[in-house]
C-alpha cells in the first residue's frame, strides 16, 4: 500500500490508524502538516521510521504507536515534555507524589514549557502545576521556586500583548 499524497492536506485530521497495511519506506513529510493529529498508529508495517525533529511539530500528539517497524533516531525532547506534562495534568497524585513533585524540582522544566507560544500547552502546564499546590506546605515551596512569579509575569505579558493588539 502506498501513502496518499494528499495526506498533508488533512488539516483537521485527529487520528491516523494504518496498522498492518504493508506500508513501506518512511513516513511522508506531508504528515507533519496535519497539526491537529492526536493519535498515530502505524504498527506492524514495513516502515523504516526515523524519529526526526518534525515530530515536534505535532504538538497535540498524545499517542504514537510505531511497534513492529524499524525505528531510528530519538524522540524530540520538546514532544516528550509536552506528552509527559499532559499525562501529569490528567493523573491522580497521592500526597506523597505531590510532595515529591515539588521536592525533586519538577516545576522547573514545566516553567520552561510556559515559554512555548502554544496557549493550549500553557493551559496544560498550569493544570499540571495546580495538582501539587493543593498539598499544605507545597504552596510556600512553589512560591520560593519562582513558579508564582513566572505565572504572574506570563499573565501580565499576555494581557499587555492582548491590549496592545486591540
Domain boundary (59, 75, 91) is at 75
In a domain, 1, yes or no: no
pLDDT at residue number 164? 66
Q: Which domain holds residue 147?
A: 79-165
Q: Tell whether 71 and 83 lie within a shared domain.
A: no
Q: Tell whether 135 and 100 lie within a shared domain.
A: yes
Q: Taking the alpha carbons of 71, 60, 82, 58 in that order, is the dihedral positive or negative?
A: positive
| Count: domains in the chain | 2
Q: Tell whether 33 and 71 lie within a shared domain.
A: yes
Q: Tell whether 25 and 96 lie within a shared domain.
A: no
CA 104 – CA 108 distance, rounded (Å): 10
Domain boundary (40, 60, 75) is at 75
Please classify residue 104 by burial: count the beta carbons closer than 10 Å to its beta carbon, then call 0-12 exposed, 13-18 middle and 19+ buried: exposed
Q: pLDDT tens digits for 98-154?
A: 888 778 877 777 777 777 777 777 788 888 888 887 887 887 777 777 777 777 777
pLDDT at residue number 18? 94
Q: Tell whether 98 and 52 lie within a shared domain.
A: no
In a domain, 140, yes or no: yes
Q: Tell whether 55 and 92 lie within a shared domain.
A: no
Q: Tell whether 63 and 89 lie within a shared domain.
A: no
In a domain, 96, yes or no: yes
In a domain, 2, yes or no: no
Q: Where are the alpha helices (DSSP H) in the chain?
A: 77-90, 95-103, 107-113, 119-133, 138-145, 147-165
Indicate whether 160 pLDDT > 70.
no
Q: Tell whether 129 and 147 lie within a shared domain.
A: yes
Indicate whether 19 pLDDT > 90.
yes
Q: Tell whether 53 and 121 lie within a shared domain.
A: no
Q: Which of 61, 71, 62, 93 lies closest to 27 in space, CA to CA?
A: 71
Residue 145 backbone phi and psi in degrees, to 5: -70, -15
**Average model confidence (pLDDT) across the chain:** 81
In a domain, 109, yes or no: yes
Q: What is the CATH number of the domain that holds 45?
A: 3.80.10.10
Amino acid at each position: 500500500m502506498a501513502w496518499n499524497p494528499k495526506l498533508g492536506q488533512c488539516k483537521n485530521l485527529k487520528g491516523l490508524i494504518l496498522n498492518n497495511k504493508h506500508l513501506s519506506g518512511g513516513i511522508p513529510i506531508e504528515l507533519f502538516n496535519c497539526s491537529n493529529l492526536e493519535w498515530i498508529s502505524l504498527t506492524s508495517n514495513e516502515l523504516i521510521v526515523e524519529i526526526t525533529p518534525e515530530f515536534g511539530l505535532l504538538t497535540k500528539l498524545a499517542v504514537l504507536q510505531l511497534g513492529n517497524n524499524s525505528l531510528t533516531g530519538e524522540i524530540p525532547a520538546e514532544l516528550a515534555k509536552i506528552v509527559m506534562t499532559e499525562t501529569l495534568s490528567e493523573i491522580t497524585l497521592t500526597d506523597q507524589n505531590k510532595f515529591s513533585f515539588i521536592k525533586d524540582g519538577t516545576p522547573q522544566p514545566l516553567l520552561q514549557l510556559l515559554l512555548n507560544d502554544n496557549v493550549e500547552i500553557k493551559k496544560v502546564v498550569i493544570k499540571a502545576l495546580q495538582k501539587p499546590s493543593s498539598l499544605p506546605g507545597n504552596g510556600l515551596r512553589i512560591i520560593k521556586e519562582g513558579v508564582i512569579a513566572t505565572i504572574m509575569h506570563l499573565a501580565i505579558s499576555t494581557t499587555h500583548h492582548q491590549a496592545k493588539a486591540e
